């Protein structure tokens, strides 16, 4: 758990100076670290994305666009393992890493969502992917607007053999 907190926005030193940035990152309490980072600005747009690198990448790109075009501070929460996968600083995003493994379901849900709860308290909008549905409940509990984003391509045609298989399995439904 504490290891994930150390991943919290490794680049905040650029804005606060190395001494100030080191102290919240060293604390084992993720909510204190996130609270310190979000207090640097007024309100933030919070992105919460869990899953593999391929699941997080589209959300990273969307967050970068929000940061650049909307001139908004964006906090991005994902697995600490993705900390080196993207250039968070160049994208203008504040990275918060959780101590959970992207390849496995979190044994303790607190490990995944404690930083999201803390960051949501200082956010005015939450965007989350379908692997981070807990963010919806956080938004409801705190009264923060939220949207689920699934930025993936939807197939334009049915898989080969779908019609035959569907007709055989559900003849009355297929006939209607």
Sign of CA dihedral 137, 141, 73, 103: negative
176, pLDDT greater than 70: yes
Q: What is the pLDDT of residues 65-107, one digit of tens each?
A: 999 888 889 999 999 999 999 999 999 999 999 988 888 877 7
Among the listed residues 97, 92, 56, 62, the one whose alpha carbon sits nearest the alpha carbon of residue 77: 97
Q: What is the mean pLDDT of residues 11-22?
A: 34
Dist CA 176 CA 172 (whole Å): 6
168, pLDDT greater than 60: yes
Instruction: Note the pLDDT of residue 43.
Output: 66
- Looking up tokens 């290891």 gives 3
Q: What is the mean pLDDT of residues 132-155?
A: 89
Dist CA 34 CA 96 (whole Å): 8
Q: What is the mean pLDDT of residues 49-77?
A: 92
Q: Rounded mean pLDDT of the chain?
A: 78
């Amino acid at each position: 758990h504490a290891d994930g907190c150390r991943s919290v926005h490794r680049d905040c030193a650029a804005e606060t100076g190395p001494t100030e940035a080191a102290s919240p990152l060293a604390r084992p309490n993720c909510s204190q670290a996130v609270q310190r980072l979000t207090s640097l600005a007024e309100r933030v747009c919070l992105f919460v994305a869990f899953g593999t690198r391929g699941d997080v990448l589209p959300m990273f790109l969307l967050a970068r666009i929000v940061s650049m075009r909307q001139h908004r501070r964006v906090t991005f929460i994902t697995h600490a393992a993705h900390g080196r996968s993207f250039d968070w600083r160049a994208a203008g995003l504040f990275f918060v890493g959780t101590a959970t493994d992207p390849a496995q379901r979190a044994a303790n849900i607190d490990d995944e969502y404690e930083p999201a709860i803390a960051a949501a308290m200082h956010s005015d909008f939450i965007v989350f992917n379908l692997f981070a549905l807990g963010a919806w409940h956080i938004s409801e509990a705190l009264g923060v607007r939220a949207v689920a984003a699934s930025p993936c391509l939807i197939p334009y045609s049915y898989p080969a053999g779908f019609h035959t298989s569907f007709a055989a399995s559900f003849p009355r439904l297929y006939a209607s």
